[in-house]
Amino acid sequence: MTAGALRRLVLIHPNYHSGGAEIAGNWPPAWVAYLAGPLKAAGYTDIHFIDAMTHHINEEELRARITALQPDIVGCTAITPAIYRAERVLEIAREAGLVHVSLGTEAAAQMKLDLFKKETRVEENKEVIRLLREADIFTEAQFIVGLDNETEETLEETYRFARDGNPDLANWTMYTPWPFTPLFQELRDKVEVFDFEKYNFVTPIMKPAAMDRATLLDRMMHNYRRFYMNKALLHYHFDETRGIADAQMADWDAMADRKRRAQERKASVREQIKAKKADLAAAQAEARAVARDAGARTGDYIMRHRIPVPAQLVLRALPARLAAPLLLRAMATHAWTFAGSGEVSIAPARLTIRANPLAVPGCAWHCAVFEALFRRLVSARSTVREVSCCARGASACAFVIETG
């Protein structure tokens, strides 16, 4: 609806008086200026305000003024007890255009409600939410947390209240004494944060007696996560008592489309990563095969050019348990062939190369060289495996030789 299509708006501050409502003196209707300013800037100039609270305007006079003004839209605000006592006119408020109510529920424990001078009972606040929802009014519950007497149990109580009352929205606001106010001076010894940029009603400013500020924030966010996860899974999509506007449906469709495209992109990236991993695995397997082939050829070269034929005949004639240590000793003596500048040491069925300059993960070339020698000179069933590697952060490459 455009500004030109609207002839008149009426904003009403309801007539409600009690000790609790007036604990802080007069209630300035700041919400009117908050709404009227942007409305006028958008071209809505025919705006009227009725302050029924300040002027003690009764129901009959209020009805007469509304009738005389004939507004296109009526906007109204009310604190929690005022809404409760106005139960009988909720349907009228709906017809007049009231669609969203934010309740200053403040707390789920009666002790805190009394502290805030709320003049309501916990069960009354739940009843208010029920009545508003039955009148098809969008309901938002506000909880103040982080007072000196806050505990994990009281925070849990606010969550249980929100779940049981089932408002459409729930907000947990951190208790924040505003700088340079008398309240701030009164609580100054309990304030731990003096960076005013963090006075955002989310960051804990004071430390409760029973928990630290980190735990307080964690428990508050835990309430948010549980409440809106429950709403997302069980309420928002299945609450048949609520209608869905065309704009909401369009927004949800757009969101679903964005989510679908994001999932497609993720699936494409996963496939690309899987393909690259497969290519890398194939390349690594090929490299190992090439290294083992090169190692076998190196072993053949050593047999033909480095180990005399009589020595080969002796080793082959001996039992494996005697031939293996002799071959290891000979390999250590001529280690430069496969160890370069590395330091070689031997032990029964074990060969170690410290600071191996030829190390690569797995050392497939070394394993192939050693297997070629042991299979031809000690036992055809010989196998060699690397148990530690310089290329993987170890101080030495260690090989274990098994002769079957």
Tell me the average pLDDT of the chain: 81
Average pLDDT of the segment spanning 46-55: 86
| 363, 292 Cβ separation under 8 angstroms | no
Average pLDDT of the segment spanning 112-136: 65
pLDDT confidence of residue 348 = 94
Q: How many residues in total does the chain contain?
A: 404
Distance (Å, whole) CA 398 – CA 214 = 49
pLDDT at 333 over 60: yes
Task: Provide the token pair at 47.
Answer: 């705006």
pLDDT at 74 over 80: no
89: DSSP letter:
G
- Highest mean pLDDT: which of 119-123, 199-203, 229-233? 199-203
Share of the chain above pLDDT 90, in %: 34
Average pLDDT of the segment spanning 261-285: 87
Burial zone of 43 (CB within 10 Å; 0-12 exposed, 13-18 middle, 19+ buried): exposed
pLDDT at 380 over 90: yes
CB atoms under 10 Å from CB of 253, counted, come to 10
| 97, 137 Cβ separation under 8 angstroms | no
Residue 57 identity (one-letter amino acid): I
pLDDT confidence of residue 26 = 52
pLDDT confidence of residue 314 = 94
pLDDT confidence of residue 230 = 85
Per-residue pLDDT band for 12 (boundaries 50, 70, 90) equals confident
pLDDT confidence of residue 108 = 45
| 126, 161 Cβ separation under 8 angstroms | yes
Who has greater pLDDT, 93 or 113?
93
Distance of CA 321 to the CA centre of its chain: 62
Within 334-363, residue ranges assigned H as helices are 336-339
Average pLDDT of the segment spanning 45-70: 84
Per-residue pLDDT band for 168 (boundaries 50, 70, 90) equals confident
348: DSSP letter:
T
Q: Any residues with CB less than 8 A from the CB of 357 and at least 6 apart, and which?
A: 339, 340, 341, 342
Within 42-166, residue ranges assigned H as helices are 59-69, 80-85, 90-95, 110-115, 122-134, 152-165
Point out the least confidently predicted range of 18-27, 130-139, 380-389.
18-27
Who has greater pLDDT, 351 or 44?
351
Average pLDDT of the segment spanning 121-137: 75
Model-level pTM greater than 0.85? no
Point out the least confidently predicted range of 34-43, 82-91, 377-386.
82-91
Per-residue pLDDT band for 180 (boundaries 50, 70, 90) equals confident
| 101, 38 Cβ separation under 8 angstroms | no
pLDDT at 69 over 90: no
pLDDT at 92 over 60: no
Per-residue pLDDT band for 403 (boundaries 50, 70, 90) equals very high
Distance (Å, whole) CA 273 – CA 8 = 61
Q: Any residues with CB less than 8 A from the CB of 383 and at least 6 apart, and which?
A: 371, 401, 402, 404
Task: Provide the token pair at 264.
Answer: 């497609």
**CATH fit for domain 277-402, picks 3.30.1380, 3.40.50, 1.10.8, 3.30.1360:** 3.30.1380
Average pLDDT of the segment spanning 262-286: 87
Distance (Å, whole) CA 389 – CA 156 = 54
Break the chain into its structural domains and give their ranges: 9-242, 277-402
Who has greater pLDDT, 92 or 214?
214
pLDDT confidence of residue 25 = 45
Label residue 119 left, alpha or beta by phi (over 0 means left) and psi (-120 to 50 means alpha). left
CB atoms under 10 Å from CB of 245, counted, come to 8
| 94, 45 Cβ separation under 8 angstroms | no
pLDDT at 244 over 60: no
Per-residue pLDDT band for 11 (boundaries 50, 70, 90) equals confident
- Highest mean pLDDT: which of 73-82, 193-202, 226-235, 387-396? 387-396
> Token pair 């008149």 is at which residue?
8
Distance (Å, whole) CA 367 – CA 388 = 12
Looking at the DSSP bridge assignments, the partners of residue 397 are 353
Average pLDDT of the segment spanning 279-289: 89
Per-residue pLDDT band for 99 (boundaries 50, 70, 90) equals low
pLDDT at 117 over 50: no
**CATH fit for domain 9-242, picks 3.40.50.720, 3.40.50.1970, 3.30.750.200, 3.30.1600.10:** 3.30.750.200
- The CB-side HSE value for 251 (13 A sphere, CA atoms) comes to 5
pLDDT at 68 over 90: no
Distance (Å, whole) CA 32 – CA 38 = 10
Would you call 79 helix, strand, or coil by DSSP? coil
